[in-house]
Amino acid sequence: MGAELKILEKTVGHALYGKGAHVEAKDALQGLDWKLAGARPNGAPHSIFQLVNHITYWQEWAVKWLDGKKPAVPRHASGSWPGGAMPTGLKAWKQAVGRFGKGLDEMTRRTGGADLLSKRGAKTRLEMLHTIASHNSYHLGQVVQQRQMLGAWPPPSGGLSW
């Protein structure tokens, strides 16, 4: 199953980073001013900063799960939306973006050589990674849309702008 495992690992990695589906995950945040990251254009329910913290919350939760731990699920959805709407400054924004990127890298590392079809409760490792990749894509789409509304798109590396 060596070749099949490599294909699964590659597919999961591409899904986590958005490769081939949309602008790569880390690029979606590239070059964004920290003040704009805290804005809510046209009454958006969450700022980009909040979206990044929410994505990161679930990535970190999934890493614990993948490591065999039993992380608690928040009692209410609001428990997975940590922090305020606005970063306190450039340093706080950079830390949030850094944690987001680290979470992606940590999950990708956990695909390498792992039995992706092994079950933990009701889900396989592969199903959990797929869930997180889908969750990331959903919210990164919101990030891109907000950046477009704020006139801060595309990022410096480029991006799909059609």
Domains of the chain, residue spans:
2-149
pLDDT over 70 at 65, yes or no: yes
Name the pLDDT band for 160 (thresholds 50, 70, 90).
low
Q: How many Å separate Cα 108 from the centre of its chain?
A: 12
pTM recorded for the entire structure: 0.92
Most trustworthy range by pLDDT among 6-15, 113-122, 135-144: 135-144
Tell me which architecture the domain covering 2-149 has in CATH: Up-down Bundle (1.20)
